[in-house]
Amino acid sequence: MSETDDREQADPKALTDAEWRERLSEEEYRVLRESGTEAKFSGEYVDHHPDDGEYRCAACGTVLFDAETKYESGCGWPAFYAAEEESVTTTVDTSHGMRRTEVRCANCDSHLGHVFDDGPEPTGKRFCINSVAMEYDEE
Ligand SMILES: [Zn+2]
């Protein structure tokens, strides 16, 4: 996990595009920095349902989601009904001819996925997040 420690030390918003390319794998870069989407049911966390722990931003290490809020949505990507407070930002995204709400990491502004209003109680939200944008942490 020393790689994560390095990532947490620098101010991620000050990183240049070249520095991001150096830090991230090609697939991570495509999703996190170019708002890409991993293939449906391909991500390592789709069927990952630990009892506890948390999911951190793969780009900067910020805690994004608690494992307790993860649920099986059947949509092909990891789904959560809530995000950690103030860890994500949301903006309306009208790309690809759809009106969706994009979810980004509040700390490094990397793209994570989208949030929809068809989730379960208590929030009614479905945060549909790319596995490659996250790193699971047992703590
Ligand atoms: Zn981040």
Q: Encode pLDDT of 48-63 as tens digits.
A: 999 999 999 999 999 9
pTM of the model: 0.90
What is the reported pLDDT for 1?
A: 45
CA of 109 to the centre of ligand 1 (A): 6
Q: What are the tens digits of pLDDT across the range 97-121?
A: 999 999 999 999 999 999 999 999 9
pLDDT above 90 (res 139): no
Residue 7 has pLDDT above 80, yes or no: no
Q: Which helix (H) or strand (E) holds 29?
A: helix 26-32
Locate tokens 């949509």: which residue?
A: 75
Average pLDDT over residues 9-25: 90
Residue 4 pLDDT > 80, yes or no? no
In the reported structure, the alpha carbon of residue 92 is separated from the centroid of ligand 1 by a whole-number distance in angstroms of 19
Cα(117) to ligand 1 centroid in Å equals 23
Q: Tell me the percentage of the chain whose pLDDT exceeds 90.
A: 88
- Whether residue 33 is predicted with pLDDT greater than 70 in this model: the reply is yes
Please measure the distance between the N-terminal and C-terminal CA atoms of the chain and give it in whole angstroms.
Answer: 12
Distance 126 CA to ligand 1 centre (A): 19
Question: What's the 63 CA to ligand 1 centre distance in angstroms?
Answer: 8
Tens digit of each residue's pLDDT (9 = 90 or more) over 64-94: 999 999 999 999 999 999 999 999 999 999 9
Q: Report percent pLDDT > 70 for the chain.
A: 93
Fold of 2-137: 2.170.150
Please give the Cα distance from 13 to 51 (Å, whole number): 32
pLDDT tops 70 at residue 3: no
Question: Exactly one of 57, 105, 108, 128 is catalytic; which is it?
Answer: 128
Q: Is 75 a catalytic residue?
A: no
Q: Where along the chain do its domains lie?
A: 2-137
